[in-house]
Structure 1
Amino acid sequence: MRRVLLAIAGIGAAGFAGVAVLGRWGLALLYSANENGRLILENAGLLYPMVAVTVLTALVLFFNMLLTIVRDFKGLVGANLIGIIACFAVSPFLVARYGMWGAADALMLALGVQAIALAARGALLAKRQFSNQS
């Protein structure tokens, strides 16, 4: 498990470094200098939340797989519902107030809550499993 988490963290760090070094240049290369291209370049900072969301999605998927392996479907559904509820709770306010940045923040927050709920459920199951063995 430690190796997977370190790999996810390493890929995230590489993604953030890549955005810092090549993000704006890459967008300028891909999109022309017309009005849409300028709008995209003005929002180049949204590449950072995109990397964060990718890392959080990888964490959520990893924890989902762990709970699937131990066949804790109730915990799996419950933890994922917590993430959905968190997204529904914060999205209207953040999107209305901050637009695209609010949508990115809402998704990061919801995925973070979901990852924590999944990890907590997995830790609870591990504690139960290993405390029952003599």
Structure 2
Amino acid sequence: MKLRRLRDHFFIYGFLCLVWYLLRTGTKPSRAVYPCQQSAGFVAHLWTLTYAAPVLAAVESDRFRIHWKTVVLVLLIGVGAYGYMNLNNTDDYEMSPVNLNLEPATATEPDPSVIYAITGTNGADDGVNRLIDLMDEHDQPFY
């Protein structure tokens, strides 16, 4: 029954997902990789294809013929800006190990958690496998 209610109100749900995606992603596009943002983005794309695209397609094309120079100029500026941003985003990050000085510490609380850490890893090597192996040596499952 609830699934049917959601389907009946997809317009509102899709619009809210679009608003959520825009507000939560904001000025940090890196947030778009979060699972909640990916699902909201997917629903927002479906909403756009379902509702916004047909409305925009119904607009008379004569309007664009009158102002075709403006439309072409806006498209050229948009393509140019997109290309400029992508060409200038050539930051090559150096993948070098981080040297951390981790010193053992004694917990002050009874029944503390156990934390395992691997040093000398850069995220592009076998650091995760080494961490899992270390935890396995101490009979700690990796969830």
Structure number with bigger Rg: 2
When you count helix as a share of all residues, which structure comes out higher? 1
TM-score, length of structure 1 as denominator length: 0.28
TM-score, length of structure 2 as denominator length: 0.27
